[in-house]
Structure 1
Amino acid sequence: MNNENIRKAVREEIRQHPVLTSSLKHFAEHDAVYYPGYGNLGDALIALGTLDLFEDIGWAPKHVYGRHKHVLSGHSHVVMGGGGGWVKGLWESYTEQTVEFLQNGGQLLILPSSFSGFGECLLPYAAQVTIFCREQQSYDALIQQGMPEDRVFLCPDLAFYTQEKHFSDLEVAGHYPVLKIFRRDEEGISRPSRRDSVDLPLLFNDVQWATFDECLPPLRAAASLISQFECVETDRLHMAILFTLLGLTVKIKPSNYFKIKAVFDYTLHRFPTASFEESAQGYSCEEQNDDAYVRKLREEIKHLKREQQAEWERRTIALRQNDALLSRLEAVQEELGEASKKADILLEEKQAETRQKQAETRQKEDLMQQVGVLQNELKRKDDNFDQICLELAQLHEKKNGEFERLRQELETIRSSRLHRLGERYYTIFRLPGVGALLRGVRKIMTG
């Protein structure tokens, strides 16, 4: 298979990766944010492939910028860009941010990266992380350090997902034979003279690559430059990947840790134009001995640092677990305090309700007592009324009897002779003439 077919096959392998695509969709459904990686021009190539993948699955996440400790605070799900920032004693770019984020209960997805010595750091939060390794050695190391197999997966570096359209219009001329790009930072072990090599990626260093507009211009400029050469010799992994994607011949040299060889063994070896050389060429015996001695010292120092780091990690894991338990205890105590407050409020409300019901009961009893008193008073008044009615009836009957007696006496008087005589006597006084004379004589006599 030629480079083009292999490139399409690798892209399809990434696109159809069942765990990667399902994990990204799951995080997208939970409003995850994307935390782009920091680094040099090689990291821009990773970011470009990542953005192409996001575009193909129809996801346009919000980006989180910055590298302060609390940069991920306020988010529940974070997708972290891939790269090489997980190497103890060398690159530890994201430790503080991620540990604090995980301690706060966040869910983290780390896109294909290399790992060395971080398994023990992530192990306490294994249920909260989904990790993709871009090569076998990192995967094996994380599993050996105790990470569960259902949280760690293999997937090619997302730089291989970069689409052809970004560089298809560039002319690959190949006018010059060899371009050497060797590291001049902490990872470099080759020592070419400044006239033989240029560390091109360091022209753009410590950048957080987040958008197409940020990634494409410098990458296209670099691609246009390197496409003027037939062959590239480099210990820069992503310069090797970029050259390979352009179809150029690449001779890859090792750096001071396993990353380049591991990625070559996992993905790059499939491209016929890429090859890996274990040792640098062109050094004198004395330089090679000195270089070997320096590498040995570096390895011993790194080994000691890793042992110290491992011991520190074991202690800090215990402390973090204690802190986590203490935090949980404080949270439980706070919840119990809140529950106690709510219980007190409910009890107070219940007591108030009981007091109100008791007051209402007493009020009802008072009302019933008053009703009883009123009923008794009413009964007494009814009894008095009945007595009064009886007395009135008796009085009425007595008056009627008295009236009847008087009427009978009156009838007796009226029927007597004297009454009749009196009637005649007074009749004479009402006669005209004689009556007036008689009234005058009576007046004189009674004088």
Structure 2
Amino acid sequence: MPTSAPAPTDVRDTLRELRGADFAYFMGTGNAGDALINVAAMQLFSTLGLRPRFLNYRSAGVPEGGVLVCSGGGNFVSMYHNLANFVRKHHRSAKRLIVLPHSYSGHEALLRELGPNVLLMCREPRSFDYLNGLGLRAEVELSEDVALNLDPATVLRGQPLAPEDRGSVWRREAWRDRLKYAVRSAAYLRTSPRDPETGRRSLLAYRDDAERTEAPLPSNNCDASVVFSSRDGYYLPDSALRSTRALLGFLNHFDDIFTNRLHVAIAALLLGKDVHIAPNNYHKLESIYRFSLKHRFPKAHWEAADDARPD
């Protein structure tokens, strides 16, 4: 039976507890949506005066006995394993391990291993109910997706949010990423003219990965989270900022966005776009739409039927 979910905890209140602490933030891996979550977290750290060490799941030197904060997202569900593997490896030695708001399913054996030094934050009530139903020793809190804290204007202005590596490798990667994103954006925009009657331009941005549904993809589909992802998906602050800036800049060319990518939807809503949100292949999109988006964004529209997709 579902529990009566409490009012959500503001993730900023949880992070304030880290003031003065020496902690490491592990940046989520994946696509441009994960980059956007990381950038929103970086903005929160800056606003709160926090100075974490930024690492990713391939970084050496994970501090033993320290405070570890893992990015929010959708990586603690049964189809993905990198975050679960990281938690499995480090939860016993960490003084404190915080997983920022996530969706959860599967991984029951690992979840039951976790002790009271672990805080699992959920970004929607269904995941909160799932974890509470397991009777865990770890702390469980209901919050909201970290990306909802993003200030897109700051990102688009190009302001750095963390120390950057300005060496030759950084310069090569920055140049390559910017060129790649510019070419991809221009190529899609050439095939997406404005409607001659309304003057509006629409983006069809449905996912084409493990979370896609059985509905056929539109002929002019652009899976923007993949198009504007980094080369390998292992983000550090500078690559996450480049990816997020490219995604936001691309979305700003459109008036109406049709998507089942959660963070394409959130980014577009933060930019003031009309966004039509469709399901992925598990509850994530609908749960977060009903919990966080429906009442916050008047331009958010739920499109439950697969045949609602335009072509």
Short-chain TM bin: 0.7 to 0.9
Partner of 2:96: 107
Checking the alignment, whether the CA contact within 8 Å between 1:46 and 1:82 is kept in structure 2 is yes
SS at match of 1:38: coil
Partner of 1:82: 72
Q: How big is the shift at 1:102?
A: 1.7
Which protein has the bigger helix share? 1
Alpha-carbon displacement from aligned partner over 1:324-350 (angstroms, at most 9, x marks no partner): xxxxxxxxxxxxxxxxxxxxxxxxxxx
- Counterpart code for 1:177: R
Partner of 1:37: 28
Percent sequence identity is 27
Partner of 2:299: 273
Alpha-carbon displacement from aligned partner over 1:377-422 (angstroms, at most 9, x marks no partner): xxxxxxxxxxxxxxxxxxxxxxxxxxxxxxxxxxxxxxxxxxxxxx
Residue from 185, 196, 201 that aligns with 2:220: 196
Q: How big is the shift at 1:44?
A: 1.1
Q: How big is the shift at 1:64?
A: 2.2
Q: How big is the shift at 1:118?
A: 3.2
Map 1:43-54; keep pairs closer than 5 Å.
43-54=34-45
Alpha-carbon displacement from aligned partner over 1:28-67 (angstroms, at most 9, x marks no partner): 5442111111010011111111011101110011122333
Partner of 2:282: 257
Q: How many angstroms apart in 2 are the aligned matches of 1:109 and 1:243?
A: 28
- Counterpart code for 2:117: Q
Change beyond 3 A, Cα 1:67–1:267 = same
Change beyond 3 A, Cα 1:183–1:78 = same
Q: How many angstroms apart in 1 are the aligned matches of 2:223 and 2:152?
A: 25
Question: Are positions 1:178 and 2:197 aligned together?
Answer: no
Partner of 1:360: none
Q: How many angstroms apart in 1 are the aligned matches of 2:39 and 2:145?
A: 12
Alpha-carbon displacement from aligned partner over 1:75-111 (angstroms, at most 9, x marks no partner): 42101111111011x1121222211212335420111
Query: TM-score of the superposition, structure 1-length normalised?
Result: 0.54
Partner of 1:166: 154
Checking the alignment, whether the CA contact within 8 Å between 1:67 and 1:97 is kept in structure 2 is no
Q: How many angstroms apart in 2 are the aligned matches of 1:78 and 1:282?
A: 42
Q: How big is the shift at 1:169?
A: 6.5
Checking the alignment, whether the CA contact within 8 Å between 2:27 and 2:57 is kept in structure 1 is no
Checking the alignment, whether the CA contact within 8 Å between 2:12 and 2:44 is kept in structure 1 is no
Question: Are positions 1:228 and 2:276 aligned together?
Answer: no
Q: How big is the shift at 1:193?
A: 4.3
Partner of 2:236: 210
Q: Which has the higher contact order (CA 8 A, sep 6+)?
A: 2
Checking the alignment, whether the CA contact within 8 Å between 1:71 and 1:97 is kept in structure 2 is no
Alpha-carbon displacement from aligned partner over 1:146-173 (angstroms, at most 9, x marks no partner): 125x811111111111114326779xx9
SS at match of 1:185: coil
Q: How big is the shift at 1:139?
A: 0.5
Partner of 2:4: none
Partner of 2:134: 145
SS at match of 1:208: coil
Checking the alignment, whether the CA contact within 8 Å between 1:183 and 1:190 is kept in structure 2 is no
Q: How big is the shift at 1:215?
A: 2.6
Q: How many angstroms apart in 2 are the aligned matches of 1:132 and 1:282?
A: 33
Checking the alignment, whether the CA contact within 8 Å between 1:182 and 1:197 is kept in structure 2 is yes
Question: Are positions 1:238 and 2:227 aligned together?
Answer: no
Q: How many angstroms apart in 1 are the aligned matches of 2:292 and 2:308?
A: 28
Checking the alignment, whether the CA contact within 8 Å between 2:114 and 2:136 is kept in structure 1 is no
SS at match of 1:67: coil
List structure 1 runs of 4+ shifted beyond 6 angstroms. Answer: none
- Counterpart code for 1:59: L
Structure 1: gaps spanning 5 or more residues: 1-12, 284-447
Alpha-carbon displacement from aligned partner over 1:263-289 (angstroms, at most 9, x marks no partner): 111101121100112121168xxxxxx
Query: TM-score of the superposition, structure 2-length normalised?
Result: 0.75
Residue from 211, 229, 233 that aligns with 1:187: 211
Checking the alignment, whether the CA contact within 8 Å between 2:28 and 2:38 is kept in structure 1 is yes
Q: How many angstroms apart in 2 are the aligned matches of 1:282 and 1:266?
A: 22
- Counterpart code for 2:281: N
**Superposition RMSD on alpha carbons, in Å?**
2.8
SS at match of 1:202: helix
Q: How many angstroms apart in 1 are the aligned matches of 2:106 and 2:61?
A: 23
SS at match of 1:228: coil
Checking the alignment, whether the CA contact within 8 Å between 2:207 and 2:223 is kept in structure 1 is yes
- Counterpart code for 1:108: L
Partner of 2:86: 97
- Counterpart code for 1:229: F
Partner of 1:330: none
SS at match of 1:33: strand
Question: Are positions 1:61 and 2:52 aligned together?
Answer: yes
Partner of 1:292: none
Checking the alignment, whether the CA contact within 8 Å between 1:182 and 1:190 is kept in structure 2 is no
SS at match of 2:255: strand
